[in-house]
Structure 1
Amino acid sequence: MSQQTEATDIKKKVLATGIRVGTQVKTKFMKPFITKASPEGLYMLDLDLTLEKIQTAAKFINRLGAENLIVCSGRQYAETPIEKFCESLGSKKLLGRFMPGTLTNPSLPYYIEPKLVLISDPQVDEQAIIEATNAGIPIIGIANTDNITSNLDVIIPANNRGRKALATVYWLLVRQVLIERGELKEDEAMKNEIDDFETKITEEEIE
């Protein structure tokens, strides 16, 4: 399979996951990443730009070392994607509430000094952004059409609320990091599929 067809296949595969479906709100920060609004009034993100930014983020992660990266999210749907991501690349995860002082107060038992922070939602993970900014740690952030991204160093424009969309972003990131490292060929399949990265919903949650 040529790189070209693989790239087309990847696009087809991820389009179905809702990765580019935004919200009914667009901020000035996210305007450059928006292509149009859907008939339902939802702003749509430019998938080419998303894939481009995932490449940028992967280069950044490899340059600073995945083991020096900490991935945070207070969003439940991001838990499985982040666990899979960290398992695949050897990064550290911080799920649930971000404890104040984690990146800024060396006297705390849970204090850490990563070289890079990855967050799933600038709104939910605001505390992580504030602390990383204060500590001078670069931030990669997955941002939706309604997010404020002024403190992010790399913005990955994507739907950061949907289960499948979040799974897709983290899956694409792992894939790209492995490609950049030379551990995976462009036209090679990953051992984990997008589904493996998805947070499964239990029946109680549906009711």
Structure 2
Amino acid sequence: MLIPREKYIERGVQIGTKIVTKEMKSYIYKQRGELKFINIEATDERIRVAAKILSKYNKIAVVASRVYAIPAAQKFCEIIGAKAILGRFKPGTFTNPSLEDFYEPEVVLVADPRVERQALIEATKMGIPSVALVDTDNTFKYLDYVVPCNNKGKKSLPLIFYLLAREILKYRNEIKSDSEFNHSIEEFELKEEEEGPEKEGEHEVME
């Protein structure tokens, strides 16, 4: 595995929601009460493949709207050289060349396909492939590749983006081993002084 199984569990990567879509059923390995749990082995393998896919592109756009996703996505973009589109996604960003914020990516990575739906609609319209972090309540509409995981958690998102960044650099041959990745998971976390009104389990979208 890319990281010890215990680290995934410690950061709640396996914790889903009470809702499970038909697309996500194959990634569920158990249920406790109404809460669904995601298969960590599937998460690990799909992070590996997602990193391989993303490593082939030069112009990557990362769209993240939720409070806990923003710092993780921002650090990820800094490390691999991607375009960070944070907070509310402005309609036309991928389709309207007259917009000041217009950008033509080769591939799009979204932190939550439900919240970042507009970005996915535009990417599909423009023929841009997409990769998404998907929780148990997500559908796969407009998606080309998915990474099943807790895509809302304060602790899980930093780990997912950390692993994606590390693996992309390895696939690009910018580093040879994990030990050469000179970043910590904590660098991808929301700092205490940046904490807003969102609490664990609440999923505010930043404007």
Q: Could you tell me the TM-score, scaled by structure 2's length?
A: 0.89
- Answering whether residue 157 of structure 2 is matched by residue 163 of structure 1, we say no
- Answering whether residue 56 of structure 2 is matched by residue 63 of structure 1, we say yes
Is the 8 Å Cα contact of residues 159 and 185 (structure 2) preserved in structure 1? yes
* Distance verdict in 2 for CA 1:190–1:152, change over 3 Å: same
Percent of pairs with identical residues: 40
Pairs within 5 Å for 1:50-199: 50-65=43-58, 68-188=59-179, 190-199=181-190
Is the 8 Å Cα contact of residues 59 and 177 (structure 1) preserved in structure 2? yes
Structure 1 residue 12 displacement after superposition: 2.3
Query: What is the Cα-based RMSD across aligned positions, in Å?
Result: 1.9
Structure 1 residue 206 displacement after superposition: 7.6
CA–CA distance in structure 2, aligned partners of residues 206 and 161 of structure 1: 11
* Distance verdict in 2 for CA 1:166–1:106, change over 3 Å: same
The counterpart of 2:30, out of the listed 36, 40, 44, is: 36
* Distance verdict in 2 for CA 1:37–1:133, change over 3 Å: same
* Distance verdict in 2 for CA 1:87–1:139, change over 3 Å: same
- Answering whether residue 11 of structure 2 is matched by residue 13 of structure 1, we say no
Deviations 1:23-73 (A, max 9, x none): 0110001111111112x43111111111111111111111122xx000011
More helix by percentage: 1
* Distance verdict in 2 for CA 1:53–1:106, change over 3 Å: same
Q: Which residue of 2 aligns with 1:4?
A: none
* Distance verdict in 2 for CA 1:9–1:104, change over 3 Å: closer
Q: Could you tell me the TM-score, scaled by structure 1's length?
A: 0.89
Question: Could you list the runs of 5+ residues in structure 1 that have no partner in the other structure?
Answer: 1-6
Is the 8 Å Cα contact of residues 56 and 154 (structure 1) preserved in structure 2? no
Q: Which residue of 1 aligns with 2:16?
A: 22
CA–CA distance in structure 1, aligned partners of residues 94 and 88 of structure 2: 14
Is the 8 Å Cα contact of residues 2 and 44 (structure 2) preserved in structure 1? no
CA–CA distance in structure 2, aligned partners of residues 87 and 46 of structure 1: 29
Structure 1 residue 201 displacement after superposition: 3.7
Is the 8 Å Cα contact of residues 59 and 180 (structure 1) preserved in structure 2? yes
Q: Which residue of 2 aligns with 1:48?
A: 41
Structure 1 residue 176 displacement after superposition: 1.0
Report how many aligned residue pairs link the two structures. 198
